[in-house]
Structure 1
Amino acid sequence: MERGKINLFERMATRITAWTGSSMAFGVALGIILVWSVTGPVFKYSDTWQLVINTGTTIVTFLMVFLIQKSQNKDSKAIQLKLNELIAASRFASNRMVDIEDLSEAELDVLRKFYRKLAEMSEEDSDIHKSHSIDAAQRLHRHKTSGISGLTQGDTGSQE
């Protein structure tokens, strides 16, 4: 497909969400509400008068949900790619963390508990450059369960 056809909705969503997040958009919305409020006595606060604001705000809200979600999805993807690049570039980071957003919530909770433990371990270390990663923890676990020596202090980040 052509680039222009694919990105029409994306470009429109980006522009609209940028504008609706501005002070000017807030001012316009506030102005509409004020005009509606002031016209209440003119229309004797009728059901039609109330229906106008209810219908208008419902339609705008309904459409904005989709525009904002499109914008959020794009931003989320960009952030994930930036984080993946940082993980890939860092010699201390585990490449297993790339694409963890595809894990279930239960699997993410297990990882969060693991990283809490690593944070506690790193607080005890005086050298902030030691690696505390999934890979280092697995090497330590293999070392402990197999009895194989050769594990260095830099692998776990803690003094043994």
Structure 2
Amino acid sequence: MILAWAVSGPLFGFSDTWQLLINTGTTIVTFLMVFLIQNTQNRDGAAIQAKLDELIRASAAHNRYIGIEGLTEEELDDLRARCASRAARDMPAELLDAADRAEDEADRKARAAAARAVGSTC
């Protein structure tokens, strides 16, 4: 289609109408592709959610998490906070120490990188 448009350019003298034709066509195709991609992503998300729900049902996980994708943003924030609190409470002391050491090491590396960056710009 684009090839036919390009070949027809000299016939129409590369007019504004000739350019408007391809602009309108590409806009319509782009608009339709957005809907197609969004529909595909929605189906993919629903399939993944169904798989996760089945894994929760088949495992020893808490069934109360099935269907949480329908919660409001505030409800999800509250749920995330409760999960983080429970994870921190249930985490063994060795893991907490390891996490603290990893955070300290990351901070040290970031400060060293920042110092190198400042030193190289002077």
TM range (shorter): 0.5 to 0.7
Query: Could you say which residue in structure 1 is the equivalent of 2:17?
Result: 48
Query: What are structure 1's unaligned runs of at least 5 residues?
Result: 1-30, 128-160
Secondary structure (helix, strand or coil) at the match of 1:73 reads helix
Name the TM-score, length of structure 1 as normaliser: 0.47
What is the root-mean-square deviation of aligned Cα atoms in Å?
3.1
Question: Any conservation in 2 of the 1:36–1:53 contact (CA below 8 Å)?
Answer: no
> d(CA) in 2 for partners of 1:126 and 1:102?
36
Higher RCO (Cα < 8 Å, 6 or more apart): 1
With over 3 angstroms needed to count, the CA separation of the structure-2 counterparts of 1:123 and 1:57, relative to structure 1, is farther
- Listed as ranges, the matches of 1:75-154 within 5 Å are 75-91=44-60, 93-124=61-92
Percentage of pairs with the same residue:
55
Gapped runs of 5+ residues in structure 2? Answer: 96-122
Output the CA distance in 1 between the equivalents of 2:87 and 2:14: 60
Tell me how many residue pairs correspond in the alignment.
Answer: 94
TM-score (norm 2): 0.59
Question: How far apart are 1:110 and its partner, in Å?
Answer: 1.1
Q: Deviations over 1:15-61 (max 9, x none)?
A: xxxxxxxxxxxxxxxx94xx59966x846653223212211111112
Residue type of the alignment partner of 1:79: I
Residue 72 in structure 1 maps to residue 55 in structure 2: no
Say whether the 8 Å CA contact 2:56–2:62 is kept in structure 1.
yes
Question: The residue matched to 2:30 in structure 1 has which SS?
Answer: helix
In structure 2, the CA distance between the partners of 1:75 and 1:58, relative to structure 1 (3 Å rule), is same
Report the Cα offset of residue 88 of structure 1. Answer: 1.1
| One-letter amino acid matched to 2:80 | R
